[in-house]
Amino acid sequence: MAPPTRAALGMLLYAALAAALAGNAAAQDDFPDLHTDRDAFTPATACVEKGEVLAEGSYVYIDNVTGLPTNNYPEWIWRIGTADWFEWRLGVNYSVGTQGNIVTSVEVGETPINGGTLYESNILYGFKAAVSEQHGPLPESCFLMEAVTPTKSELLGTVPVATYVAGWELPVRLPTRGARPCRIDSAIRYSYAESRLHWFSRWAPSVVLRLPVTERWEVHAEYFGTFPQGLPITVNRPFFSPGTHYMLTKNLEIGLRVGWGLTDIAAPFFSDAGIGWRW
């Protein structure tokens, strides 16, 4: 039986789509994108503007192949803009599950596929810095350097995570009123994570096509995967993931993304519902 939270996530998606369609004709003001990092596995290429704070949170459900499902919440992060090209990042999360977290930007340790339950609370800290602006084929890009330190866990090592993101605004718009240009973003993430046996490397490439439907509503389609090196067995996990977000106000966004594993070892399904709030 599907957990009750699955129905709630479906209602959130339905409400977002209905609100977007109903408000399309009436929307007159400009709603600049918040550029939340939780909107997809691939982070946004933009930093938070100087003097602003962007808070992001999510509830994530992962239906693992074996064992118990993974539940993550609140995946809360504060992004604090200190310059036009630089932001500090501080977050907290609690994870319950058997096989770590492999579908969002919150890195945790990893237990064996048939291992015991992993309970983990952690803090995240680091920075994000703009690297380049888009000029022709030169992409807009940024670099993230973060660390995740467990405060309660079966695995206690701090996980360092480095991510490079590059993206291009495309000369294409959907034929709908208020639509912004479409864009494509890609990223490569590297983390040095802990298993029950030893430390190992985890590579996570991703690419996402973002399609703004109106000035408030955007949909996307994404491919991403996690590919560890140094584990005793191969646990590569690629995913396909569509998603959407809708801006309730100029400073408040709700979003939902779901996904399906593309191999027998990848989780058959996951969902990620969350918000972004700027002030």
Contacts 24+ apart (CB under 8 A), 242-246: 243/39, 243/40, 243/219, 243/272, 244/13, 244/16, 244/17, 244/217, 244/218, 244/219, 244/220, 245/16, 245/36, 245/39, 245/217, 245/218, 245/276, 246/16, 246/17, 246/19, 246/20, 246/216, 246/217, 246/218
Q: What is the pLDDT along the chain (279 residues), one digit of tens a residue?
A: 444 455 445 545 445 444 444 444 344 457 889 999 999 999 999 999 999 999 999 999 999 888 888 899 999 999 999 999 999 999 999 888 766 678 887 766 565 555 556 778 889 999 999 999 999 999 999 999 999 998 887 767 888 999 999 999 999 999 998 899 999 999 999 999 877 778 889 999 999 999 999 999 999 999 999 998 988 887 899 999 999 999 999 999 999 999 999 999 899 999 999 999 999
Which one-letter DSSP state was computed for residue 179?
A: P
| CB distance 272 to 256 below 8 Å | yes
| CB distance 231 to 200 below 8 Å | yes
* Count of alpha carbons within 13 angstroms of residue 54, beta-carbon side: 27
Contacts of 272 (CB under 8 A, 6+ apart): 38, 58, 59, 60, 61, 103, 104, 243, 256, 257, 258
In angstroms, how far is the first alpha carbon of the chain from the final one?
A: 40
Residue 231 phi/psi, 5-degree rounding, is: -90, 155
Three-class SS state of 268? coil
User: How many angstroms separate the Cα of 250 from the Cα of each of 15, 47, 53?
Assistant: 18, 17, 14
| CB distance 96 to 117 below 8 Å | yes
d(CA 54, CA 279): 7
Three-class SS state of 25? coil
What tokens appear for 44 in the block? 């946004």
Residue-level pLDDT at 204: 95
Residue position matching structure tokens 């809360």: 76
Residue-level pLDDT at 65: 87
Give the chain's domains with CATH numbers: 4-271 (2.40.160.40)
* Count of alpha carbons within 13 angstroms of residue 144, beta-carbon side: 30
Q: How far is C-alpha 218 from the geometric centre of its chain's CA atoms?
A: 15
User: How many angstroms separate the Cα of 97 from the Cα of each of 3, 15, 54, 150, 153?
Assistant: 15, 29, 28, 15, 11
